[in-house]
Chain A
Amino acid sequence: MSLLQVKNLVVEFPHRRGTLRALDDISFDIAPGEILGVVGESGAGKSLTGASIIGLLEPPGRIASGQILLEGERIDHLPHEKMRHIRGRKIGAIFQDPLTSLNPLYTVGRQLVETIRAHLPVDAAEARRQAIALLEDTGIPAAAERIDHYPHQFSGGMRQRVVIALALAAQPQLIVADEPTTALDVSIQAQIIQLLKRLCRERGAAVMLITHDMGVIAETCDRVAVMYAGRIAEIGPVHEVINRSAHPYTQGLMAAIPDITEDRERLHQIDGAMPRLNAIPPGCAYNPRCPRAFDRCTAQRPDLMNAGATRAACWLHDA
């Protein structure tokens, strides 16, 4: 059975002149231990999808319809108090900027112990022992000593290791990682990705990895969902989506990425920009930029359909 199921999720932001639909009919699931990548450009709705799952949607944003199920139970309409117990215990979260996800006034040890004791029935000494073990596991040298240091005494990469330790503290089954390596240098990025992969494999935790970096997706994920204007454009095994993309948007996106192994005179460019939420065109949201759009694309909105080894929301694949 799937660990997480998202069914027809719709997130709306009401405002003075009507309602903006930021996520429109998103459905996917994550199996236990699986790493699902969510990729897309800014404003495509990746982070919003993550925030909906961990119950941290900023008001006035609200889940207008659809369901989120964790181990078969709905978590999208839980009261705050109940959701707090799930967040941390069952779903861990890692955010982009490690400096803002740690409290600068407390030592990292205090933050770890607090998290462990909030979710697990252990005493202070046992929690501290676990905290040191966690820091060692995340590759922080001299963990027994570093545990009493403050966040500002750590470098960016080390801080992100502390954040990963915090997310794993209560042994959750799912980690939602929103751009965990974007603020880091490329050399540190590789270390953090490998760490995240290893720890989740060892603990059997599934990961939803949100990023705009296709390279990170390629080396880390089992499956990937490509988002565009609040919808999933394509979803499938990572190798298939990258090397045999079915959706013209995914194809354009892949061709626009400069490749380290080859010389190209010009990069492929997708003209125009992603539509604003208040001006999403009828039919397929990608149709004004799509080189292969035809009549049906401007009239009727495609849902995900089978397209080779992946599923794509594109009429080209309608048999």
Chain B
Amino acid sequence: MPDQARPLVQARDLAKTFDVSAPWLNRVLERRPRQLLHAVDGVSFDIAKGKTLALVGESGCGKSTVARLLVGLYEPTRGGLQFDGQDAHAAFKSSQGRALRRRVQMIFQDPYASLNPRWLVEDIVGEPLREHGLITDPARLRERVGELLQSVGLSPLDMAKYPHQFSGGQRQRISIARALATEPEFLVCDEPTSALDVSVQAQVLNIMKDLQRQQGLTYLFISHNLAVVRHVSDEVGVMYLGRLVELADKHTLFANPQHPYTRMLLDAIPKMHDTGKARTPVQGEVPNPLNPPSGCAFNPRCPLANDRCRTERPQLLDLRGVKVACHAVEEGRV
């Protein structure tokens, strides 16, 4: 297959299960069973080079676990990940792991927790360059750190400061500069702007878009904010309790959402310019992932649920031009 046509990132049936059982002694004495938490349960998607896939969903739906699987912080329980045609998790364990890690970087949510407060910005941004042996000459290293800071709108003089001397938005830009240091092709961004104020969020989102255009970066963008997702993404995946329920092109998803959960999420967003108009609240809450409902996980909250939804789990199917996991859509009951 020519390189152009092959997606940069291909996730196939990715799953991650955590063992959250009680300690062995309690299990034996109290006869409690083992308990498994299916944080991510069979998620598949492709991301083409230079594009952005956004994952949205409520807390606990497995978005961040997917992010950690993609950068190799977790090993999948099932399924696999192909990065540029090679099996990523096999590569992470082999001698090529280092080379692959250079190409995949991550930006975390909280810029207060992700920067070492005792390090100078120069060391924070320069560490990946030294670690990967990309630049060894100290003068050249400093020059490169200066360039990186400039590319995210900071001054090269800032490298002599500590993280506490910066505001939240500036710190997040330092995180971006560090992630860009190794010239990665794929950036996994886990809620990069949700800790920031809106005016600062706009600055960071604009920088991320500019960098994507200049350097052809590919993003996986995780957020719970659908308006932000609409702004940055090309494709959107909606997750619910560890599974993808809808995966569609951005314009299709926002203009014509199919899955009842996607519709509810879109309805639940406050409409800024129609003041005083109440939104339609989503009924109920996310069920306990330790004890998910049978059939479709969304059925207790779904207005369209019937007996089939309560017993048979829907697969992600190509329906009406998008991928959607819903019996009601498949049967045309919507």
Is B216 an interface position by the 8 A CB rule? no
- Chain B residues whose CB sits within 8 angstroms of the CB of A191 once the complex forms: 281-282
Q: Please judge, given known A-B contacts A191-B281, A214-B198, A252-B199, whether A185 and B266 are in contact too, CB under 8 Å.
A: no
Q: Does B154 contact A (CB under 8 A)?
A: no
Is A260 an interface residue, CB under 8 A from the partner?
yes
Residues of A within 8 Å of B99, CB to CB, are: none
Residues of B within 8 A of A2 (CB): none
- A155 CB-CB contact with B under 8 Å: yes
Quick check: B202 and A219 within 8 Å, CB to CB?
no
CB distance from B38 to the nearest CB of A (A): 19
Pairwise interchain contact B270-A218, C-beta atoms closer than 8 A: yes
A269 within 8 A of B: yes
Q: Which of A116-131 contact B (CB under 8 A)?
A: none
Contact A190 B268 (CB under 8 A): yes
**Count of inter-chain pairs, beta carbons less than 8 A:** 127
Contact of A215 among B169, B230, B269, B285 (CB under 8 A): B269
Rounded to whole angstroms, the CA-CA distance of A304 and B151 in the bound complex is 39
Closest partner residue, chain A, to B232 (CB atom): A258
Q: Are B224 and A185 in contact (CB under 8 A)?
A: yes
- Which chain A residues numbered 32 to 81 have a C-beta less than 8 Å away from chain B? 41-42
Q: Is the C-beta of A1 less than 8 angstroms from some C-beta in chain B? A: no
Instruction: Find chain A residues with CB under 8 A from B75 CB.
Output: none
Which residues of chain A are near B120, meaning CB under 8 Å? none
Question: How would residues 250 to 276 of chain B score, 1 for a CB under 8 Å from any chain A CB and 0 otherwise?
Answer: 010010000000001110111111111
A253 within 8 A of B: yes
Stretch at the interface among B11-19, B26-34, B203-211, B303-311: B203-211
The reply on B62 being an interface residue by CB < 8 A is no
A279 at the interface (CB under 8 A from B): no
Query: Given contacts A219-B277, A258-B205, is CB(A212)–CB(B231) below 8 Å?
Result: no
Minimum CB–CB distance for B299 against chain A, Å: 16
Could you say which residues of chain B place their CB within 8 Å of the CB of A215?
269-272
Could you tell me the distance between the alpha carbons of A239 and B202 in the complex, rounded to whole angstroms?
A: 23
Contact flag A218-B224 (CB < 8 Å), given A257-B198, A260-B254: no
State whether B276 touches A219 (Cβ < 8 A): yes
A186 touches B199 (CB 8 A): no
Please indicate which of the listed interface residues B251, B270, B277 has the most CB atoms of chain A within 10 Å of its own CB.
B270
Select one of A185, A197, A270 contacting B58, CB under 8 A. Answer: A185
Bound-complex Cα distance A264 to B228 (A): 11
Expressed in whole angstroms, the Cα–Cα distance for A253 and B278 within the complex equals 22
Verify B272–A218 contact, CB threshold 8 A: yes
Count of chain A residues with a beta carbon within 8 Å of a chain B beta carbon:
43
Residue B200, interface by CB 8 Å: yes
Q: Mark A140-163, 1 if CB is under 8 A from B, else 0.
A: 000000000000000101100000
Q: Report yes or no: B285 in contact with A157, Cβ–Cβ below 8 A.
A: yes
**Which chain B residue shows the least CB distance to A214?**
B272
Among B206, B231, B274, B282, contact of A187 (Cβ-Cβ < 8 Å): B282
**Is there a chain B Cβ closer than 8 Å to A243's Cβ?**
yes
Residues of chain A with a CB closer than 8 A to B226's CB: 186, 260
Q: Which residues of B contact A243 (CB under 8 A)?
A: 273, 275
**Structural contact, A219 and B273, CB atoms closer than 8 A:** no
For chain B, give the interface size range: 35 or more
Question: B167 at interface (Cβ–Cβ under 8 A)?
Answer: yes
Select one of B59, B199, B274, B279 contacting A269, CB under 8 A.
Answer: B199
Asked if A187 and B203 sit within 8 Å, CB to CB, the answer is no
Q: A238, B276: Cβ atoms under 8 Å?
A: yes
Docked pose: A246 CA to B265 CA in angstroms: 32
Question: A197 to B205, alpha carbons, bound, how many Å?
Answer: 33
The docked-state distance in angstroms from the alpha carbon of A157 to that of B167 is 31
Residue in B170, B275, B282 whose CB lies within 8 Å of A238: B275
Chain B residues, CB < 8 A from A266: 206, 209
A256, B58: Cβ atoms closer than 8 Å: no
What is the CA–CA distance of A212 and B226 in the complex, to the nearest angstrom? 17
**Are B199 and A41 touching (Cβ within 8 A)?**
yes
- With A187-B268, A191-B282 as known contacts, state yes or no: A239 contacts B198, CB within 8 Å: no
Check A187–B58 contact: CB distance below 8 A. Answer: yes
Distance to closest chain B CB from A30 (angstroms)? 17
A202 within 8 A of B: no
For the complex, give the distance between the alpha carbons of A260 and B205 in Å: 15
**B200 proximity list for chain A (CB < 8 A):** 41, 273
- Contacts of B167 on A, CB cut-off 8 Å? 273
- How distant is the Cα of A239 from the Cα of B274 in the complex, in angstroms? 8
Q: Which of B202, B226, B230, B268 has the most A CB atoms < 10 Å from its CB? A: B202
Name which residue of chain A comes closest to B205, CB basis. Answer: A267
Closest to A243 in B: B273
Question: A267 touching B206 by the CB < 8 A rule?
Answer: yes
The interface residues of chain B lying within 8 Å CB-to-CB of A197 are 278
A-B contact pairs, 14 of them (CB 8 A): A155-B285, A185-B224, A187-B264, A187-B268, A188-B58, A194-B278, A213-B270, A218-B272, A243-B273, A258-B202, A259-B227, A259-B230, A260-B269, A273-B167
Q: Which 7 A-B pairs have the closest CB atoms?
A: A215-B270, A187-B282, A190-B281, A256-B202, A41-B197, A267-B202, A258-B231
Q: Apart from A185-B59, A256-B202, what are 17 other A-B pairs with CB-CB below 8 Å?
A: A41-B200, A155-B285, A185-B224, A188-B58, A214-B272, A215-B271, A215-B272, A218-B270, A238-B276, A242-B272, A242-B273, A257-B202, A259-B230, A260-B266, A266-B209, A270-B203, A273-B169
Interface residues of A (CB under 8 A from B): 41-42, 155, 157-158, 185-191, 194, 197, 212-216, 218-219, 238-239, 242-243, 252-254, 256-261, 263-264, 266-271, 273
